[in-house]
Structure 1
Amino acid sequence: MIRTSVAVLIVFWGVFFCSTQGSTQEVRRENPKKQLLQETQAELKLLREKLEEALQRIEKLERLRGMAHYRFPNQMELLGVSLPLQRRDLWERMDREFLFLVNDVPQVLLWMKRANRYFPLIEERIRLRGLPEDLKYVAIVESSLRPEARSSAGAVGIWQFMPTTGSLYQLEITNWVDLRQDPVLSTEAALSYLEYLYSKFGDWLLALAAYNAGEDRVRKEMARQEVSSFYDLMLPSETERYIFKIASAKVILSDPRAYGFELSPDELYESLKVELVEVELGGDLDLVSLGRACGMTYRALRNMNPQLRDSWLPKGKYRMYLPAGSGNCAKEFAGNKTLSTAPKPKPQPEAAKTQPPKQARAEPVVHKVQEKESLWDIARKYGVQVKSIQEWNKLSAQEKIRPGQRLVIYR
């Protein structure tokens, strides 16, 4: 805009200067050269001053118009809760995170592109559980929707699970797979974990703080500071900023055009058009050959399956994502009758009722369920998986435990 205006003014200046050439020629014949030079310099000085004044006005207008991109709404909701931005300290915390994020143009554009790929599967599972849709923005702040994201602390995947927490939600880590990088399974696990934290704190903002800093850390600080509101709780800087980053991501991505971001549909990353296949292998499976047999490159296969860690899989059971309609191709290639297309994931699949391993039956521990204690609490206490406790005690995934109930734990 400024460059265009400058060009217009320069053209105007040139036309004006040329229009004075005729009169200048007459002055040249009648007046001394010195007087002519002085008059010409005076005219140029006047034009220069007017040009500078016009440029300053144009720049001011441009700044004022652009400032709208750096302001967030006065009233906002996150997870169904109105943020009290009338409190100046909270407004300043929100302002800081919003300005940092809205000014990071490449990052916001990548969010928009990746959201087209991953938000549909996240939103579907959120709806199935009846949870707030704003939870999808947690994945934005955690990993920028990158399944391959890995933190220096060892958190991995879209939802940044640490190994210990991931194991509690059946996100297996072996030499061949890391299910923390499976977009579907990690989303199911993250929603289960967030749902659990909400059941413990009764407040979504505290639940998010616990997701970031850890349940014990948040509970300890609440007790020590005698504070029950997230807004008044002193927590590590990363956690305090975490909530406002999520809120800022929601503001920007809910209406990107309002903040100067706009992409055409063909600039967005393609949605996941894959078929989930469960594989029970009787022997080793070469993934390079599998991809070739199904008409795709090994790179394409790995891109669809970020949870895979090697170019082959040994005997065992695995989940794989293949292009829609490729299930039969994989079945024929593997030559294994146990290869089958898996059903659509459910929010809470019922646990298989199997017996505990024989070597664990020798020394069972009987645990008496305490008030407000959950299976997740018990699993963490004994270092086992929730699914294992359900299997050992013939509990379905939906079945609730009650205070005083006795559970058998094998360690």
Structure 2
Amino acid sequence: MTYRTIRQRFLLSAGSTVIMGLLMAAAANSEASPGTLGSFNVSSNTTTPLPSPREEQARAPRLDAYHGHFWDSLSLEPQDVWSVMRQSFQWQEITLPLEAQARVDEWIEHYRARPQNIVEITRRATPWLAWISEQVSERGLPGEIALIPFVESSFDPSAKSHRGAAGLWQFMPGTGDALGLVRNQSYDGRLDVVTSTQAALDYLESQAAEWYQGDIMLSLAAYNAGAGTVNKALRSAQSQGLDGSYWDLSLPSETMQYVPKLKAIATIIQNPERYGVELPDIQATPAFAKIQLENPLSLAEASQLLDVSQQTLAELNPGLLGAQAGPRNGQTLLVPESADSELIAELSQSTDAVLASTDTPAVHRVESGDSLSAIAARYNLDQRDLIRWNALDRPGALTPGQLLALTAR
């Protein structure tokens, strides 16, 4: 069952419960109200005169705003990711000092003059934005935090800076290591969107709690410049009698512009029509499903089994440098939400039962003692084709349980 299916069932169940509760309350309210269908007072068992038309009108139930629009409210408009994000924004109503607002306005005009840049970046964010926004919301963080990759990497999960930072969240190697992001020849956790997003949010929350009494803006400054630099600037501002908010600090130029950029982007997303920006349609639910792998599985194998292009899988799994996922190299494989994720989960854990269900073998599960030459001979294939189709870096080091694609995509 995919994430979306679970979410839909939950919402339907919750909606049914709410509706039944409201209908029962309405019925109870009706029973408690004076009746208008008969001319008998049940409690006294005596007849009473029928009310006059004016009295009848006065007695008629009056629909307040809640009851009058109850059924209309059940026809909810489908939400996209932008409407969901707007509901989670926390900084848009904050009134800033004039100098601080001028810094935000400068970036609003910068982006406003380049609307195509925003459109291009938000389109690049399409696979990731709904899921990231969801993670931010679940932690109770300002919705603006989901836009940090806009500032850091233009939402390019493979982005690398000249200083060595990498991924959507632009982690330096040392920082990534400290946060437990695995790096080796075949996998880089900084490029893994799921893993790096969790690490980034953990980092922001821990920094805010440890140093800044929960102030996320100061934690963002530390994310960019380092806690030492921000703490020094904070002490200096407080020694001058200032409150020590982000807007009070004297920081390196890049850090001084960090939060203004973020707030400017959120301001434009809050009201894109005002700034002449047309945002792309992005669904409000995650665009991918996560599969936990028990055995190694190459992207070529997954492509064959799921009928999903290998390029699509590679774009969803940029942390897999060697094009193979598994317990050692990024245990979670991301696949399109619409793909048959149950099949790939079954194949990653089962034996040949599922493979036998196909008319023509498309894959081979490596068994103990198998060699590439023996597999090629068994299926009358060229070893070089097997190497190319499966992106094998070490053809002589096959792993029992590994799936090999037997045809080109």
- TM-score class normalised by the smaller sequence: 0.5 to 0.7
Q: Which residue does the alignment assign to 1:251?
A: 267
Query: Could you give the per-residue CA deviations for residues 80-121 of structure 1, whole angstroms, max 9, x where no partner exists?
Result: 48655442x323322322221221222111233244432211
Q: Which residue does the alignment assign to 1:329?
A: 343
Q: Which residue does the alignment assign to 2:309?
A: 297
Of the candidates 236, 248, 259, which is equivalent to residue 252 of structure 2?
A: 236
| Contact 2:181 2:195 survives alignment (8 Å) | yes
Which TM-score applies when normalising by structure 2?
Answer: 0.56
Whole-angstrom distance in 2 between the partners of 1:98 and 1:222: 27
CA 1:210–1:241 in 2, change beyond 3 Å: closer, same or farther? Answer: same
Aligned residues: 256
CA 1:264–1:218 in 2, change beyond 3 Å: closer, same or farther? Answer: closer
Q: Gapped runs of 5+ residues in structure 1?
A: 1-76, 338-411
Whole-angstrom distance in 2 between the partners of 1:136 and 1:286: 30
Of the candidates 127, 131, 134, which is equivalent to residue 121 of structure 1?
A: 131
Whole-angstrom distance in 2 between the partners of 1:269 and 1:145: 17
Q: Which residue does the alignment assign to 1:131?
A: 141
Whole-angstrom distance in 2 between the partners of 1:207 and 1:248: 18
Whole-angstrom distance in 2 between the partners of 1:260 and 1:97: 15
Query: Residue type matched to 2:250 in 1?
Result: M
1:234: how far off?
Answer: 1.3
Q: Which residue does the alignment assign to 2:165?
A: 155
Query: Could you give the per-residue CA deviations for residues 229-252 of structure 1, whole angstroms, max 9, x where no partner exists?
Result: 322321110000111101100111
Which has the larger share of helix? 1
**Once structures 1 and 2 are overlaid, which stretch shifts more, 103-112 or 217-226?**
217-226
Larger Rg: 1
Query: Residue type matched to 2:146 in 1?
Result: K
Matched, 1:201 2:212: yes
Q: Which residue does the alignment assign to 1:170?
A: 180
1:336: how far off?
Answer: 4.8
Query: Residue type matched to 1:133 in 2?
Result: G
1:137: how far off?
Answer: 2.2
1:201: how far off?
Answer: 0.9
CA 1:236–1:315 in 2, change beyond 3 Å: closer, same or farther? Answer: closer
Q: Which residue does the alignment assign to 1:90?
A: 100
Q: Which residue does the alignment assign to 1:56?
A: none
Query: Could you give the per-residue CA deviations for residues 147-199 of structure 1, whole angstroms, max 9, x where no partner exists?
Result: 11222221111111122222233221111111222222222111111111211
Whole-angstrom distance in 1 between the partners of 2:148 and 2:292: 29
1:289: how far off?
Answer: 3.1
Query: Could you give the per-residue CA deviations for residues 268-287 of structure 1, whole angstroms, max 9, x where no partner exists?
Result: 59975322112233xx6443
Q: Which has the higher contact order (CA 8 A, sep 6+)?
A: 2
CA 1:194–1:264 in 2, change beyond 3 Å: closer, same or farther? Answer: closer
Query: Could you give the per-residue CA deviations for residues 250-298 of structure 1, whole angstroms, max 9, x where no partner exists?
Result: 1111111111112564xx59975322112233xx644323322321232
| Contact 2:91 2:263 survives alignment (8 Å) | no
CA 1:102–1:134 in 2, change beyond 3 Å: closer, same or farther? Answer: same
Whole-angstrom distance in 2 between the partners of 1:126 and 1:270: 14
**Once structures 1 and 2 are overlaid, which stretch shifts more, 322-331 or 213-222?**
322-331
1:312: how far off?
Answer: 3.6
Whole-angstrom distance in 2 between the partners of 1:243 and 1:217: 16
Q: Gapped runs of 5+ residues in structure 2?
A: 1-87, 352-409
Q: Which residue does the alignment assign to 2:299?
A: 287
Whole-angstrom distance in 1 between the partners of 2:138 and 2:326: 34
CA 1:219–1:315 in 2, change beyond 3 Å: closer, same or farther? Answer: closer
Matched, 1:278 2:292: yes
RMSD: 2.9
CA 1:219–1:300 in 2, change beyond 3 Å: closer, same or farther? Answer: same
1:301: how far off?
Answer: 1.6
| Identity level (%) | 30
